Structure 1
Amino acid sequence: MTKKAQKTTAGRRFQARLAGFHVLASVLLLAGCAPGRPIDPQAQARAMAAKPAEPTPNEFPAIETAKWKEGAFPNLENLRLMSTGMGKDQVRQLLGWPHFSEGLWGAQEWNYIFHLRTGKGAEFITCQYMVRFDDAMLSTGSFWKVPGCADLLRAAAKPKMPEPAAAKPPVVVQPLPSPATPLAPQRISLGTDGLFRFDGGALSDLQPQGRQKVEQLAQEIRRNFRTIQSISITGHTDRLGSTAYNDALSIKRASTVRDLLVSAGIDGALIKTSGAGKSRPVADCSGAKKTPALVACLQPNRRVEVEVRGAS
């Protein structure tokens, strides 16, 4: 083979390798550049407690600069499940990839273009939605550019009343319905050992009977309250483990119960969650070493409290 032919062959091999590198790089970029990693409970607790200031309308990117300009009609149930402390993989599973080119390495802001139905036939409005992340890449808040978009999302959660019949029914005088009677706040305490496996708080940690308990609770709320003003869910733990770990675990337990109530038909906009960690024990047990007897004694402290305010 001549030197010229050898150079030509070597050049072709280099070009082939370069093309292969570009394909590999593209695959890595589409895959998100790196596999997911577990969420640190302490970092999650910090993200959930961050409460950053809401962005101004000028902080949202111009809609014409979007990479995917068509936007999307989002899954409304997924939107209602958005909460602080979520990792990027969890946000992406609920909402999909962001619609703007915001970088893949350490981007602390994802922006979306969402189309929300108004309830009038095929009519919809276009809204911009932002999710912000902290240095640990955990969500610290999600925001709408126009507040009316959030109102529309809440309105969509309520069942649509049927259209009135064309023919007018005969006029019948009915007595006025009695006004709703305010109820004293109802507080329910659920032992987390019956809901979750010991030391667990995620959806995957739920015991089969635990899901059943929360679904029964949702039925009782709908049966006993004609109107609901608010629902407060507070998670608690025993004193075993660090304060930071127990704070994060208690928040996770409260958030999981909230998500189950929403999936059972309770309006998520009425629910607030918090975690008290090990700060409010109801049982006092002696001993510092984690023994089966101490774990059993501390069981009443591992609980989720649900307070419902409304009228019958």
Structure 2
Amino acid sequence: MQANRFAGAAIVCSIAIGLLSACGTRHLSRDISPDGVPAEVVFPAKERAILKEGTFPNPNSLRQVAAGVTKDQLYHLLGRPHFREGYAGVREWDYLFHFRRDGEVTTCQYKVIFDQHYLARSFYWQPQDCADLLREPVAPAPPPSAPSAVAPRRYSLSADALFAFGRADRGDLQSSGRAEIARIAAELRDAKDLRKVRVTGHTDTIGSEQANQALSQRRAQTVRALLIDEGVPARLISAEGRGESEPVIGSCDASAERTALIACLQPNRRVEIVAEVEQ
């Protein structure tokens, strides 16, 4: 009776493992943790392989092997293990694989270690650089496209046409100046690819350098705000004041009466808009 029981168990084992050679074998790797990580990975000697010639695996099938696959799924992807390893109670499977590349054959050993529930959890190659054989070929990068031509659009607005003398705020804008800014904004909105817009304020030399710097900055900021109001994206626009540091007219007769001096220095009082637009 007992002999019949053992015979029945052997039949069940052989059905369960199909072509696998045994219902369990000792583990070569040492101290495999419940989550499927060994303290030391040990590969069997190649000459101990049951399938001594090994196989040429399908690389796409190998790439599908990942943590969580079952033994049945692994068997379907890679076939039976190539060493004396069974099915039930076994925590590691070993394979002997060959890869053909550039006219040469490379032989590698591949190990899968299972967790306590017999799901694949960790994977090892010998030599380790065999893992590189599974990397997908990288297509050559396309040649860099020619950079788009970017040309600046320049606008120079007379500060006297924009603001009352010595003023810089929105309420100080003259109607003609507001209309000119609206026209420029319309051109920038219609541009194919507007990259950035720089607004720069300039003054003459009348008054202190510090006051002129502040005046030029306020004028640039006011023009920037108007461009935004007209629909030009705020993230593209910067505003900067350069005071009296970049004059158009180098000098005027300082002894001239104030009205004449103001008139002479008029070209220096300006707001410049430079826009970078793809052509």
TM-score normalised per structure 2? 0.46
Which has the larger share of strand? 2
Which has the larger share of helix? 1
TM-score normalised per structure 1? 0.41
Whose Rg is larger?
Answer: 2
